[in-house]
Amino acid sequence: MTEHRTATHPNRPKRRLTTVSVERPRCPACGGIQLRKYRSIRDQGDGSALWWVQCQDDACGHRFRVLLE
């Protein structure tokens, strides 16, 4: 994680914001990033989402699920 300074009031000390990075989903079989979502549940009651996806790589076509929390 990296931190950045933010502008604040002149009389207050500057605080640092933390940066959180998120990676895009990749196919577990081939590592491809071209995925097609063919079914999803937007909110499972706890704020998470579930996607059923298929890899669009010509030689792969692997189907799997992606859980977004």
For residue 39, CA distances in Å to 13, 59, 67 come to: 48, 22, 12
Name the band, by pLDDT with cuts 50, 70 and 90, for residue 69. Answer: confident
Confidence (pLDDT) at 34:
95
* Rounded Cα gap, residues 54 and 17, in angstroms: 36
Spans of all domains in the chain: 28-69
pLDDT tens figures, 7-34: 556 777 788 899 999 899 999 999 999 9
